[in-house]
């Protein structure tokens, strides 16, 4: 399945939900994909991509930016505070603001650097101990904390538990966003993005359905 097929599925899901497909950003998840696969999607005209790790993105995207205009790069993986400055320099949006310490670091960097990429707060909708994110019960207070720090919070992000119905988590994220006046929802991946669109997703993260299965790094 390629970019044309995914785009058609997005358009159909949007139509079924009485939404405009133009309001939905397809983030092509390029982590652990060979450069030739990524470049083939770039050549098709796609420009929004997602990476999980700052280090991997730093080794790939500066070169692509020299060749292709208009790249829109999203950090969709966990971020260590000591990599935050580099993330600010590399990424056009960060989807994984997941703890107060990171918010404080972002606020300091925004003052120092005079800019901050748009941010999504990651909510741990399944309250899974192994997963990053703000607990749903703490989300309202954390949004307020981030706003008090003048951080440009656009919306919320979630990754539903693999063994639960994703629509329940999409509905919860939508409810949390609505009551805090946030219009952007980063939710939905290769297996469930049509459901996410039905619940109001504005950013969907599609990797394997677009590129094929990931290729792990040598020695992994």
Three-state SS annotation for 64-129: HHHHCCCCEEEECCCCCHHHHHHHHHHCCEEEEECCHHHHHHHHHHHHHHCCCCCEEEEECCCCCC
Q: Please enumerate in sequence order all residues whose Cβ is within 8 A of that of 207, keeping only pairs 6 or more positions apart, or say none.
A: 28, 29, 30, 31, 33, 50, 189, 190, 214
Q: In this predicted structure, what is the pLDDT of residue 1?
A: 72
> pLDDT of 136-162, one tens digit each?
999 999 999 999 999 999 999 999 999
pLDDT digits (tens, 9 = 90+) for 14-50: 999 999 999 999 999 999 899 999 999 999 999 999 9
- pTM recorded for the entire structure: 0.95
164 φ/ψ angles, rounded to the nearest 5 degrees:
-125, 160
Domain 3-211 has CATH 3.30.1490.20: no
Residues recorded for the chain: 220
């Amino acid at each position: 399945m390629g970019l044309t097929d995914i785009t058609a599925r997005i358009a159909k899901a949007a139509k079924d939900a009485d939404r405009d497909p133009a309001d939905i950003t397809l983030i092509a998840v390029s982590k652990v994909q060979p450069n030739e696969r990524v470049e083939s999607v770039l050549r098709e005209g796609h420009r929004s991509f997602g990476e999980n790790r700052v280090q991997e993105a730093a080794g790939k995207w500066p070169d692509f930016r020299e060749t292709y205009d208009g790249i829109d790069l999203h950090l969709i993986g966990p971020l260590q505070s000591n990599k935050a400055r580099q993330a600010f320099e590399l990424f056009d949006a960060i989807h994984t603001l997941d703890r107060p310490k990171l918010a404080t670091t972002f606020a300091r960097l925004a003052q120092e650097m005079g800019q901050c990429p748009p941010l999504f707060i990651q909510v741990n909708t399944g309250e899974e101990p192994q997963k990053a994110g703000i607990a749903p019960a703490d989300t309202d207070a954390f949004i307020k904390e981030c706003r008090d720090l003048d951080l440009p919070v656009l919306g919320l992000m979630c990754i539903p538990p693999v063994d639960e119905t994703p629509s329940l988590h999409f509905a919860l994220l939508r409810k949390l966003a609505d009551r805090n006046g946030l219009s952007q929802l980063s939710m939905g991946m290769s297996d469930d993005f049509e459901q996410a669109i039905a619940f109001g997703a504005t950013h969907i993260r599609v990797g394997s359905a677009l590129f094929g299965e990931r290729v792990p790094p040598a020695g992994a």
